[in-house]
Chain A
Amino acid sequence: MSYCELQVTSNFSFLRGASHPEELVETAAGLGYGALAITDRNSLAGIVRAHMAAKKNGLRLLPACRLDLQDAPSVLAYPVNKAGYTRLCGLLSTGNLRTEKGACLLYRRDLEEANADIQFALVPPEQFSAAYDFAPAFYKAAAYFRELLDDRLSLLATCSYEGQDAKRLFRLAALSQKTGSPLLASNDVYYHVPERRQLQDVLTCVREKTTIQQAGYLLHRNAERHLKAIDEMQRLFQHYPAALIRSLELEDICRFSLDSLEYVYPEEVKHPDRTAQQELAELTWIGAKERFPENIPDKVRQALEKELHFVEEKNYASYFLTVYDIVRFARSQNILCQGRGSAANSSICYCLGITSVDPSEFDLLFERFVSSARDEPPDIDVDFEHERREEVIQYIYNKYGRDRAAIVATVTELHQKGAIRDVGKAMGLSIDTINRLSENMRHHSYEWLEEKKAYAQERAPQDPYLCKVLELTRQMMGFPRQLGQHTGGFVISQHPLTELCPILNARMENRTCIEWNKDDIEDLRFMKVDVLGLGMLTCLRKAFELAKKYYNLDWTLAGIPQNEKEVYDMISRADTLGVFQIESRAQQTMLPRLKPKEFYDLVIEVAIVRPGPIQGDMVHPYLRRRNGEEPVEYPSPELEAILKRTLGVPLFQEQAMKIAIDAAGFTPAEADGLRRSMATFKAKGKVNDFETKLIDGMLAKGYTEEFAKRIFRQLEGFGSYGFPESHAVSFALLVYVSSWIKCFYPDIFATALLNSMPMGFYQPAQIINDAVKHGVEVRPVDINFSDWDNVLEEGAGKHKAIRLGFRQVKGLKEEEVQVLMNKRGQGYRSMNQLWEATRLSALTLEKMADADAFRSIGLDRRKALWEIAAYNDRPIALFREQPVALPYEKNIQLPLLTEAENVVLDYAATSLTVRAHPLSFIRDQLTSLHVLAAADLKKAKDGDNVRVAGLILVRQRPGTASGICFITLEDETGFSNLVVFAPLFEAFRKPILQSKLLMVEGKLQVEGAVIHVIVQKCYNLNGLLKRLTMVESVPTLTVSRDFK
């Protein structure tokens, strides 16, 4: 006799199950089970993982779930075949879509409508009366279900060791006899091994928002709800052997497997008379003629033929067509977009307009990315303008319908900080203790936990409680906690998605999701298109529009002239503020060392400054080799083939994977598994298996251990941040295009950037400063000249002038500004006329006054405010348009604003100023403190002791930089870059965190064009700033004493 377990709650029943699906499956396999069902509550979220693990461990997974009904006892549901599975998905979707995210409301009537092809098992209640019987409601429900489901209903029987097992089994057997529903034995499993009971108790406390001390009877009294050996189950049910046999019968009846799910590409993207492949070929060649109107270069023609052949072989045509359709929609709406990803680097994509990287100029080598050996679905991510991505998303929903298109889920996993918080709270620790435990946590959790444990043992070896908390935290890390929404991954299918998987409402309005995440659907080989938002595309589209409007130029992503030396010179000077990707400080310090000269250098630049390569220590070798300081050599010819483009230094994800395959003997699937699981390894602690395999494989092929270890370290870094070359190529194009615009049209560039805010690293103030430095005139916001957006006006010099728009003014709404613009006519002449014309609220006008926007009618911000203050008492009827001031107000003279005060108030209202930089007003004081201006640092020498001061622009403490803090200061002459090492940061924490104006002393470090100040002392100079706005003159007049 044998048995299989059909009632298993995994940790995808959030805060209930205490084991991962994989753990349950592996344990079941170890116990000799031939099959296992996962029955999470109203959810199928965990079954793909369980299925994949089951395949690996040679057992069969029954996809199933527990249906918690609102008006009846719960039942377990086991689909018998594909139809039953589809019905179950539909049922769950109904319950999900009925309510908000995270809940599923199901009723009897739902079950009455959809129950065919599904086997059910009724869960008896936990309560058992003093007369040793179940409540009458349960008997009624049993009869009801029996009538509804006939012989498709079983009764669950469990030995829970809670003292009444014999009596419960007896009652259930009697009921079974009476109704004819067979008994089904189960152990109501919540964890794979009994040791997990403690964690399950903690989860119960978290769920019930109580502490372990208070939980009382909410907890179970024993640890029996684990997977038990088959012979033990046989012993427990020795009086009811039929209940065990029933489990095997059910297993035999339920033949459905996730493997038989068949994903079908949507078909409406093609002409009905053609096959998808014909359609793709047709569109591709039409596109090719548009891209190359003269004639198609041979190189491209050959590539296209080869690619089309490959696509046909792999049956990917529908996928390309689906992406093409989305892109075509975006273009018809004038939404800028660009594809990236493995399949995107194809000539096909270029001809279809999905990408803009010209295959005649660059080696794309499609098959470098999509290797036919690696049998995985193609991957294209499409970036859209971030402000208009929602239009694309709604287009997809509308075109395919909500039943056929949905966003992929993300499974939010508990990281150490959340885990320790939950466990600590449940264990009744004080908030202070929890904070102490969780402080200084690093990203990589394993080392951290070991460290904490060592600390706890050292400090309080007698405190097993604390050690217990840490141990439970370790177990809980990586637990799924909720289903979120992927940033833009869409699954689109020919048939309703509910045939494949339940769908649910996302937290955002008008979005629906499926229950599975991207790894799950990749395992099942579903198609996914990533519809992502990218701020730079918004900026570029706006730049294109400005070019058309003010210069009458037609720009496109693919049409910007390539290989302009001036652009590369500018990039090499790190003059890249605002440019895509290479504007960060880390990038800017890299640029003068790398000195990009051609497009591929930009590809490398994009990939090189990332946590991955830095962590893997791969950056400096590349630079050294490039600058000829180190010989370029390859450990073997096979590595030369892989690493030639990057001078022998692996920089891209694809290279690292290729090394694993070619140099360590991984199968492509293993290499992919390695890459994919890297991110989650840390939590699950399986990293060692792969490390050993990789290093052994490479040693066997004759590589040195040191080199093998270096490769592995890099792979580790890639896990979370790694950048594939296929993405870098597309990004590099945006880098080039944005640099080109900045280089030749700084006026357009700054305006487009400002109109796309918020994005990037820099604030409007820095963008404007930068524009001014490049010879662009910037004009202030004004009621008579400004639009909502920033616009261009005729300028005196080479470039047009930027007229700041009202979008820069805090607190204004676009509709209000529209009113102002619509009624402007020949221009406003007085406050009263403006009032009469616009009827804008005093509050709105006040905000405009704060921004000093009334200069063109002769009012500075104070005078304007003074007039607005009389808003409710303005002259009307006969006296309309008269000046506001009444005769007796004639002599009121408000205190005059100094220029410094104006600057401070500009910042307050718009976060920027077109006047002088605030620091220019205190330069004298700074000079007397021996402070150098940022521009003067260039004149100092390496190792000099210097003092610099400036407004703090950026403070960064990257997790990977072991506590080093990077600070960028700004003064009227430019930026200065500071490095603060960890101990110093601790010592000067307060000035660093509290200062707006910071002064530091330190040593200058000059490396070529890269200048850093290694900080030794910090001073808070906020006092100096405050003085800018101090009242300079003490009031001289006295008010008459008898003022009453």
Chain B
Amino acid sequence: MQKSFVCIWFRYLKTDRTVIRQPALKSQPLVLISPVHGKMVITAANAIAHAQGIDRGISLADARAMIPGLLSLNDQPEKAVRWLNALGGYCNRFSPSVSLSGTDTLFIDATGCSHLWGGDAGYLSAIRNAFDAIGYQVRLAMAGTPGAAWALTRYGKDSTIAAPNRQMDVLLPLPPAALQLDPELVARFDKLGLKTICQLLQIPRPALLRRFGQALLDRVDACSGARIESWEPVFPPVEHQQRLASLEPIITLAGVEIALQTLLEKMIRQLSQEGLGIRQAVFTGFRSRQKPVSIRVGTSQPVQDLRRVFRLFEMKFDRLSLEPGIESFLLEVPRTEPVQHRQEKIWNGSAAADNEALAELIDRISNKFGASRISRFLPAEHHWPERAFRKATSLVEEKTSAWPAVERPVLLLPVPEKVEVSAPVPDYPPLLFRHKGVVHEIVSADGPERIEQEWWLQEGIARDYYIVEDKAGQRYWLFRSGHYQPGSRPDWYLHGYFA
């Protein structure tokens, strides 16, 4: 059968993706940058920036000189292949066999596919429309070899369709670089004045072989089709997918149900091994000579329950048109999430945490009086006492820093309470203090520990903290807000209790 390949070049893959995520950035020049030897260098520019002369490889400073205020975002180079992979998965609708090239190009083995879309032109425009709709600008070409299709996307007219077995004709006027050669070789051809593939091919093969090696001829042959290029479909691009082929086309709903049941079983087995549950699933039937049919379901939380997913699909079975019979099935789970397993322990390690009864108690209290009644505190790295802790968001959250190395009260009052003291100036511990009408005579004290405001959060006066013990043996955390100065008496507060 005459082979046919489509090449899709995502000219602005990374910036398109950025704009899809942040539509507000559309219609303005945008570049992605990465540091190279301590200098920010542009790694991708969108079409608008590109049209203004900004290209990969120039430094951000240079680009800013040309477009002041040019918007730049940090590149995440490692992600491009992942995105491309996902786009490849998307292409599955156009052909079962899709392959990746570099970080911005996809190949589709379109052999025998395009008639489903009413011919080659319809096929290409369907692909283009699909990516337009998402927001990717693509250049497309179709030819009998992947190499030729690649050449046409880069150097030919967009949407070129090379006639069967005539790909070399359209390649002839293109530059040698279209053969995907080593850049050094391309530069050498340029110097030799060989500016088109046609000029290159006028030279007898032995002369080319002598000078430029077998690799060049291999590339020519790969483009012409004289040599078959290896083809590695990348799938499964959707990480979780299962396929089922049927011996003969299935036209009954019962057959479909069995297929779905089988696929779901396999899928859930795979997912539960990875600790994942389904958030979205697509069930596709590939019909002979018809567009594939598919139904899609989504769940509100990760699900590993086969029946539950099956029932969701079942509700949409009426949308499946089975004529003239489904040859193969595909179940994909494009979106998964880790399943929250039921908690067996609440607090790891400590004695109290092992106590399931305690955990139950916590549950009962928080359910009865409201979750806000129960808190768990973790240290936050701040000197200022009110900021020195934070509320944990879960029972299992680990602390990210140590508690301060100095003494802190067991109970910290949410709001410091004013007290009256008798204390020698300027910063000696008080001799006694009065709190809620009760006078506490102080027998021993330590301090001051002087804590300044965290000036980047709040300006204000410092506090001098004292640990004091009264006659009754109770210990308190007192502080003086500010210093004694002529004409002003700073206020004293009680801020906590020690055990």
Chain A residues within CB distance 8 Å of chain B: 127-128, 161-164, 166-167, 197-198, 201, 212-213, 215-217, 219, 221-224, 427, 432, 464-465, 468, 846, 849-850, 861-862, 865-866, 869-870, 873, 886, 888-889, 892, 894-897, 905, 986, 989-990, 993-994, 1031, 1034-1035, 1037-1039, 1041, 1043-1044
Tell me, in angstroms, the Cα distance from A892 to B200 when the chains sit together.
11
In the complex, which residues of chain B have a beta carbon less than 8 angstroms from the beta carbon of A201?
A: 455-456
Closest chain B CB from A161 CB (angstroms):
4
Neighbour of B172 across the interface among A161, A432, A846, A1038, CB < 8 A: A1038
Verify A224–B68 contact, CB threshold 8 A: no
Neighbour of B452 across the interface among A127, A221, A993, CB < 8 A: A221
Verify A994–B53 contact, CB threshold 8 A: yes
- Show 25 residue pairs from A and B whose CB-CB distance is below 8 angstroms, ordered by the A residue: A127-B405, A161-B448, A161-B450, A164-B406, A167-B446, A216-B382, A217-B404, A221-B451, A221-B452, A465-B456, A849-B191, A862-B192, A865-B188, A869-B188, A869-B212, A886-B207, A889-B207, A895-B193, A895-B194, A990-B52, A1035-B173, A1035-B198, A1039-B168, A1039-B201, A1041-B168
In the complex, which residues of chain A have a beta carbon less than 8 angstroms from the beta carbon of B407?
A: 163
Task: Report B167-184 residues with CB < 8 Å from chain A CB.
Answer: 168-169, 172-173
Verify B66–A993 contact, CB threshold 8 A: yes
B475 at the A/B interface (Cβ < 8 Å)? no
In the complex, which residues of chain B have a beta carbon less than 8 angstroms from the beta carbon of A850?
A: 191
Tell me, in angstroms, the Cα distance from A1039 to B199 when the chains sit together.
9
Verify A888–B446 contact, CB threshold 8 A: no
In the complex, which residues of chain B have a beta carbon less than 8 angstroms from the beta carbon of A1039?
A: 168, 172, 198, 201-202
Closest chain B CB from A41 CB (angstroms):
24
How many chain B residues touch A (CB < 8 A): the figure is 56
**What would 10 more interface pairs be, CB under 8 Å, given A894-B194, A1041-B169?**
A216-B382, A222-B451, A224-B450, A465-B456, A862-B191, A873-B210, A993-B62, A994-B53, A1043-B224, A1044-B225
Q: Which 3 A-B pairs have the closest CB atoms?
A: A216-B381, A163-B449, A869-B211
Verify B446–A905 contact, CB threshold 8 A: no
Verify B65–A989 contact, CB threshold 8 A: yes
Verify B199–A1035 contact, CB threshold 8 A: yes
Verify A212–B193 contact, CB threshold 8 A: no
In the complex, which residues of chain A have a beta carbon less than 8 angstroms from the beta carbon of B450?
A: 161-162, 221-222, 224
Chain B 198-226 near chain A by CB (<8 Å), digits 1 or 0: 11011110110011100000000100111
Which chain A residue lies CB-closest to B220?
A1043
Verify B198–A1037 contact, CB threshold 8 A: yes
Verify A197–B452 contact, CB threshold 8 A: yes
Verify A862–B447 contact, CB threshold 8 A: no
Neighbour of A163 across the interface among B66, B224, B406, CB < 8 A: B406
In the complex, which residues of chain B have a beta carbon less than 8 angstroms from the beta carbon of A1044?
A: 221, 224-226
Chain B 255-292 near chain A by CB (<8 Å), digits 1 or 0: 00000000000000000000000000000000000000
Tell me, in angstroms, the Cα distance from A862 to B405 when the chains sit together.
77
Closest chain A CB from B455 CB (angstroms):
5
Closest chain A CB from B361 CB (angstroms):
32
In the complex, which residues of chain B have a beta carbon less than 8 angstroms from the beta carbon of A897?
A: 193
Neighbour of A219 across the interface among B166, B383, B465, CB < 8 A: B383
Tell me, in angstroms, the Cα distance from A222 to B381 when the chains sit together.
15
Which chain A residue lies CB-closest to B175?
A1031
Chain B 461-479 near chain A by CB (<8 Å), digits 1 or 0: 0101100000000000000
Verify B446–A163 contact, CB threshold 8 A: yes
Given contacts A163-B407, A865-B188, A889 and B196 within 8 Å (CB-CB)? no
B195 at the A/B interface (Cβ < 8 Å)? yes
Tell me, in angstroms, the Cα distance from A219 to B456 when the chains sit together.
12
Given contacts A870-B211, A1044-B221, A1044-B226, A894 and B193 within 8 Å (CB-CB)? yes
In the complex, which residues of chain A have a beta carbon less than 8 angstroms from the beta carbon of B191?
A: 849-850, 861-862, 865, 905
Verify B192–A865 contact, CB threshold 8 A: yes
Closest chain A CB from B106 CB (angstroms):
27
Tell me, in angstroms, the Cα distance from A397 to B172 when the chains sit together.
67
B350 at the A/B interface (Cβ < 8 Å)? no
Which chain A residue lies CB-closest to B197?
A1039
B401 at the A/B interface (Cβ < 8 Å)? yes
Given contacts A164-B406, A866-B192, A994-B53, A223 and B204 within 8 Å (CB-CB)? no
Closest chain A CB from B309 CB (angstroms):
44
Given contacts A994-B53, A1039-B198, A1039-B201, A468 and B456 within 8 Å (CB-CB)? yes
Verify A888–B204 contact, CB threshold 8 A: yes
Verify A162–B199 contact, CB threshold 8 A: no
Verify A892–B207 contact, CB threshold 8 A: yes
Tell me, in angstroms, the Cα distance from A217 to B384 when the chains sit together.
11
Tell me, in angstroms, the Cα distance from A415 to B447 when the chains sit together.
42
Verify B462–A222 contact, CB threshold 8 A: yes
Tell me, in angstroms, the Cα distance from A889 to B205 when the chains sit together.
10
Verify A892–B199 contact, CB threshold 8 A: no
Verify B196–A1035 contact, CB threshold 8 A: yes
In the complex, which residues of chain A have a beta carbon less than 8 angstroms from the beta carbon of B196?
A: 1031, 1035
In the complex, which residues of chain B have a beta carbon less than 8 angstroms from the beta carbon of A432?
A: 72
In the complex, which residues of chain A have a beta carbon less than 8 angstroms from the beta carbon of B224?
A: 1043-1044
In the complex, which residues of chain A have a beta carbon less than 8 angstroms from the beta carbon of B166?
A: 1041
Tell me, in angstroms, the Cα distance from A892 to B72 when the chains sit together.
50
Which chain A residue lies CB-closest to B69?
A436
| Interface-central residue, A128, A166, A222, by most chain B CB under 10 Å | A222
Tell me, in angstroms, the Cα distance from A817 to B48 when the chains sit together.
47
Closest chain B CB from A256 CB (angstroms):
36
Verify A888–B207 contact, CB threshold 8 A: yes
In the complex, which residues of chain B have a beta carbon less than 8 angstroms from the beta carbon of A989?
A: 65-66, 68
Closest chain B CB from A122 CB (angstroms):
22
Closest chain B CB from A892 CB (angstroms):
6
Closest chain A CB from B444 CB (angstroms):
11
Verify A889–B204 contact, CB threshold 8 A: yes
Tell me, in angstroms, the Cα distance from A251 to B53 when the chains sit together.
68
Verify A427–B456 contact, CB threshold 8 A: yes
Tell me, in angstroms, the Cα distance from A861 to B448 when the chains sit together.
85
| Interface-central residue, A163, A849, A1039, by most chain B CB under 10 Å | A163
Closest chain B CB from A449 CB (angstroms):
20
Verify B202–A1037 contact, CB threshold 8 A: yes
Closest chain A CB from B273 CB (angstroms):
38
In the complex, which residues of chain A have a beta carbon less than 8 angstroms from the beta carbon of B168?
A: 1039, 1041, 1043
In the complex, which residues of chain B have a beta carbon less than 8 angstroms from the beta carbon of A162?
A: 406, 449-450
In the complex, which residues of chain B have a beta carbon less than 8 angstroms from the beta carbon of A1043?
A: 168, 201, 224
Closest chain A CB from B453 CB (angstroms):
10
Verify A166–B446 contact, CB threshold 8 A: yes
Verify B206–A993 contact, CB threshold 8 A: no
Which chain A residue lies CB-closest to B224?
A1044
Neighbour of B401 across the interface among A127, A163, A216, A889, CB < 8 A: A216
Verify A161–B65 contact, CB threshold 8 A: no
Given contacts A163-B406, A888-B204, A1039-B172, A213 and B456 within 8 Å (CB-CB)? yes
Neighbour of B383 across the interface among A164, A217, A849, CB < 8 A: A217
Closest chain A CB from B198 CB (angstroms):
4
Verify B206–A888 contact, CB threshold 8 A: yes
| Interface-central residue, A866, A896, A990, by most chain B CB under 10 Å | A866
Chain B 56-69 near chain A by CB (<8 Å), digits 1 or 0: 00000010011110
Given contacts A161-B448, A990-B66, A895 and B199 within 8 Å (CB-CB)? yes
Which chain A residue lies CB-closest to B402?
A217
In the complex, which residues of chain A have a beta carbon less than 8 angstroms from the beta carbon of B448?
A: 161, 163
In the complex, which residues of chain B have a beta carbon less than 8 angstroms from the beta carbon of A1035?
A: 172-173, 196, 198-199, 202
In the complex, which residues of chain A have a beta carbon less than 8 angstroms from the beta carbon of B212?
A: 869
Tell me, in angstroms, the Cα distance from A869 to B193 when the chains sit together.
14
In the complex, which residues of chain A have a beta carbon less than 8 angstroms from the beta carbon of B198?
A: 1035, 1037-1039
In the complex, which residues of chain B have a beta carbon less than 8 angstroms from the beta carbon of A886?
A: 206-207, 210
Tell me, in angstroms, the Cα distance from A468 to B449 when the chains sit together.
27
In the complex, which residues of chain A have a beta carbon less than 8 angstroms from the beta carbon of B456?
A: 201, 212-213, 427, 465, 468
In the complex, which residues of chain A have a beta carbon less than 8 angstroms from the beta carbon of B401?
A: 216-217
Task: Report B416-473 residues with CB < 8 Å from chain A CB.
Answer: 446-452, 455-456, 459, 462, 464-465
In the complex, which residues of chain A have a beta carbon less than 8 angstroms from the beta carbon of B465?
A: 163
